[in-house]
Homo-oligomer: A and B are copies of this chain.
Amino acid sequence: IAHQPNDVIRKIVLTIDTMNPTVKNVEYAVRGPIVQRAMQVEKELREGVKKPFTEVIKANIGDAHAMGQKPITFFRQVLALCSYPELLNENMFPEDAKNRARRILQACGGSSVGAYSASQGIDCVRQDVARYIERRDGGVPCDPDNVYLTTGASDGIVTMLKLLVCGEGASRTGVMISIPQYPLYSAALAELGAVQVNYYLNEEKCWSMDLSELERSLAEARKHCNPKALCIINPGNPTGQVQSRQCIEDVIRFAAKERLFLMADEVYQDNVYAEGCQFHSFKKVLFELGPEYSDNVELASFHSTSKCYMGECGFRGGYMEVINMDPEVQAQLSKLVSVRLCPPVPGQVLMDLVVNSPQPGEPSYTTFMKERTATLSLLAEKAKLTEQILNTVPGITCNPVQGAMYSFPNISLPEKSIKEAKALGQAPDMFYCMKLLEETGICLVPGSGFGQKDGTYHFRMTILPPTDKLKILLAKVKEFHQKFTQQYS
């Protein structure tokens, strides 16, 4: 867009030329142009504009409740009790929900979730998180002082990157991220002015991490920056793989040898569907490798209330655990988080309920387990369904959705469509996804928004739509892909 001529007359201070250039470099595909267009299309439908479809089906973002997933009853009961403690006098709530609410309220200033908490998070919630991590990791100890509650996992990841990033020119901090990646990483690195160091996941081997690729990427990066950290998303976003124990071990040994700070994004830790796959936390594997590693390798691990079986994105709850962090640096971290006062307290409450869910014998246990299992089973079913149907389409190849909430299939695009996209200044898979949206009402995110090997094309779709809609979606994608291929052949 050219500048408005009245910029001069208006003597405006902040223009595209005078603003912070690092912000201009930020891109975030998950809410990018395709999603903006999808919202316009929805508006047009509401206004009665005729389209070849009657509704937009959004599979662009891991937003479970928006796709019809129901919240866990127990969690919402406790949240209601904490919001309006007069409800503690009512008979309609089970005792365990009331007990959780009372315990949390006691830990809040003035017994109100409206008080600021400690900047690091409510003490008893951090203690519960620590016990949860210990149970999850088969007894590996966790110190609540190393747990920081966050405003969703994004906040924790950005905060850690902020601590790590510095330098200019050839000594600028480099941060290794997987390609494909979740674009929060590229966005944060762009904003912080750090160097994004790409390592490619191996699509042929179900998006696994190859040691040789990590080595190549690091050697390359060392020529022009100072690589200090290695980020892993496991289970994978956007790629849906679950890394093997062996792979995690290799990555830890690599980080130790090469002196890299590990950042493990483990927000999908309960989202594991495939036979033979299992979630291994980086922390557990680190400690199983013995003191040579567990006393030395620095690790930050992130979790969230937004994914898994709860899908409570709107509450922006999360935590990070830091391991082997230098005490002086950790003091700086604690100071840094104090500037924003505290993470949202309702999100902290929810995080507590996730790590301290109803136990056998408690009145809410049966319902909780039923709801949790139903949600995870349905996701497993939809993961399988997605993979199976996509793989029936000539020109679409889809790895198994072992975990997380996404499929990231490879799509063959005809040469003619690639040329036409380039003539329009669009990435070929953006061109494809835009056409898909206009013709079918389906909103997916082009692979180019996550990064991919040159010359390959993908899209990311969530497996979250209700089964009936997911089937419609997959059938439409199939039909569209065939038509698109014909049209441009």
Contacts and interface: CB of A to CB of B under 8 A. Distances in A.
Interface of A: 1, 3-4, 7, 10-16, 18-24, 26-28, 30-32, 61, 63-69, 71, 76-77, 79-81, 83-84, 87, 90, 92, 108-110, 112-117, 119, 151-152, 154-155, 162-166, 183-184, 187-188, 191, 228-229, 259-261, 295-296, 298, 310-316, 324-329, 332, 335-336, 338-347
Contact of A14 (B92, B110, B163, B295): B163
B316 A344 contact: yes
A259 to B, nearest CB: 5
A13 B115 contact: no
A251 to B, nearest CB: 15
Nearest to A33: B335
Nearest to A7: B326
Contacts of A67: 109-110
Contact of A114 (B16, B71, B155, B324): B71
A260 B14 CA distance: 9
Contacts of A12: 296, 298, 324, 326
A1 B326 CA distance: 12
A314 B87 contact: no
28 contacts: A10-B296, A11-B296, A13-B229, A13-B260, A13-B298, A14-B261, A14-B325, A14-B329, A18-B228, A20-B162, A27-B335, A28-B339, A31-B338, A66-B112, A76-B84, A77-B84, A80-B80, A83-B83, A83-B346, A114-B310, A155-B340, A183-B339, A191-B336, A313-B342, A314-B345, A316-B341, A316-B344, A316-B345
A447 to B, nearest CB: 19
A173 to B, nearest CB: 8
Contacts of A4: 326-327
Contacts of A32: 338
B346 A315 contact: yes
A109 B35 CA distance: 15
Contacts of A110: 65-69
Contacts of A155: 340
A66 B332 contact: no
Contacts of A298: 12-14
A312 B164 CA distance: 33
A340 B21 contact: no
Which one of A166, A314, A335, A336 has the highest number of Cβ atoms from chain B below 10 Å of its Cβ? Answer: A314
B114 A314 contact: yes
Q: Specify how many copies of this chain sit in the oligomer.
A: 2
Contacts of A162: 20, 23, 191
Would you list the 5 A-B pairs with minimal beta carbon distance, nearest first? A66-B109, A314-B345, A80-B84, A65-B112, A31-B338
Given A1-B328, A61-B116, A152-B340, A295 B10 contact: yes
Which one of A116, A164, A336 has the highest number of Cβ atoms from chain B below 10 Å of its Cβ? Answer: A116
B26 A335 contact: yes
Contacts of A18: 166, 228
Given A28-B335, A296-B11, A314-B345, A16 B329 contact: yes
A115 to B, nearest CB: 4
A19 B166 contact: yes
A120 B228 CA distance: 33
Contact of A339 (B3, B84, B188, B336): B188
Contacts of A188: 339
Nearest to A295: B10
Contacts of A116: 61, 63, 66, 313-314
B344 A151 contact: yes
A42 B187 CA distance: 42
B14 A326 contact: yes
A30 B116 CA distance: 12
Which one of A26, A69, A84 has the highest number of Cβ atoms from chain B below 10 Å of its Cβ? Answer: A84
B326 A66 contact: no
A312 B114 contact: yes
Given A113-B314, A163-B19, A184 B108 contact: no
Which one of A67, A260, A328, A339 has the highest number of Cβ atoms from chain B below 10 Å of its Cβ? Answer: A339
Contacts of A16: 326, 328-329, 332
A26 B336 contact: yes
A151 B125 CA distance: 21
A38 to B, nearest CB: 12
